[in-house]
Structure 1
Amino acid sequence: MKKLRLIAALVLVAGYAQAQYGAADSAVIVRPFKIFDNLYYVGNSFVSAYLLRTDKGLVLIDALYGKDTAYTPAAARQLGFRDKDIRYILCTHGHYDHCEGAGFVQRMTGARIGMTAPDWDMAEGKIKAPYTSVNNKLTRDRVIRDGDSLQMGNTTIYFFETPGHTPGVLSMRFPVRDGNKTYTAFMFGGVGLNFDGVERTEMYLRSVDRIQKMAGIEVNISNHPGPGKIFERARQLANRKPGDPHPFVDAAAFQSWLNELKQGAEQKLAEEKKKAGSPH
């Protein structure tokens, strides 16, 4: 049985070379796959979505968009779960590619939706912002604040508001399990520098600095597949031999990535200050 599962995994990842990180409108579906015993990838080739399994149901992290709106519950069924097993939908921020599908999944499953207040405003169209959609059709549900947590049976998700990419980016820390080992995973909920202004860039830098100071993060669960090398690591996972380390457990790579984000943001800050005519 283990050999059959490995063969299936190798067939699965054979298509990853085709799943590049291009534009949102050219994204292709990626067959769902298990990353840890309690974490599954259910996104497409452009944007990530995950199912976190607890003994009290599933937590869906981000919900896709457009033609792929219905995919996350379909992926859950492919993995052997039921629609009603999805109890919570957590949106990392209010851009359409992360939250447009949340309303659909909520209506299908009865799940609650959680997002920060500033990004609820974006998702509901109360403030004008790029990368939002009139197709969200979201009803404001749980408003998540910095320092909140969600207890789902044997799993606690800790929330952090890390603004910059949007005014209310939601980041989170949670446990992932591999056999008898438990690791600390982190999702930085918005890392792109596709915004304008000195103030927002300074907010972004403060968020990166805050995350850098968090101790014990071992796994980077990125909300786009590229930054966390999700597909590359999945290929390694499919070829993992007994006794090999889990390829997603890489604390040093996480810190190195944060350093890259910081360098990019510092360069952007200098450019934004120049545009604004600020001497400092």
Structure 2
Amino acid sequence: MSDRTTDRPTYRKGSVTLRGQMVPASTSDERLLSGPDGADWLHKDPWRVLRIQSEFVEGFGALAELGPAVSVFGSARVRPGDAEYALGEEVARLLAQAGYAVITGGGPGLMEAANKGAHEAGGVSVGLGIELPFEQGMNQWVDLGVNFRYFFARKTMFVKYASGFIVLPGGFGTLDELFEAVTLVQTGKVKRFPIVLVGSEFWGGLVDWLLDQLGGRGLIGPHDVDLLHVTDDPADAVEFVAAAAAELAAREQEAERAAAAEGAE
């Protein structure tokens, strides 16, 4: 008997899978961000708030006991056999060996490469999927997968449960995640944690532009670009993340000891 589902469009909506005529014409994000239609929003948006709340609750519950983790970002369009795919596997393998879980967007390309590298090294491989107009699905190397309707809920999980970010070559989505992270660190919304760009040939032009156009015109601080560590060496990327995380943990412990000593006086 043939598989009747192989040629049918597939759509993932949170934890729900839809096919055929059940595939919606727009995404949850698109409906949320569309302008209000008279007073209709009074009836729809409060229910969306509950749905958004449920995404945070589900994500927090799934990841709360994950332990030390690093979020790895990169293009969905890189294929197995490409040099960058092998680079993603190696980065994740070294992260797993260093005791970190690896968090990706759960899709194909460099996300798949990182999940594969972590899984095969015996580490925890996490995928945070997102509802898109076309089905990507969770790649086969994900051990713990959570699907989201809303980008902002998913982004929160990338930051909240990560000790650092390692960013491989990618497109708009990768750049979005990179600059969201840099902005959070720059503005002090999160304590400083490491952000590593792997691939100097790919990222070098962007870093030069940031220095020349933003730094040169005073649109960012003189040391803001220092928030980005550029390397071609997967081992250096992992070591940089581990060292920065250890330094931050030591500072937090020292602050706790100082507070306890002050309270005992």
Same fold at TM > 0.5: no
Q: Which has the higher strand share?
A: 1
User: Normalising to structure 2: TM-score of the pair?
Assistant: 0.32
Which one has the largest radius of gyration?
A: 2
Given the two structures, how large is their TM-score scaled by the length of structure 1? 0.31
Does 1 or 2 have the higher relative contact order (CA < 8 Å, sep 6+)? 2
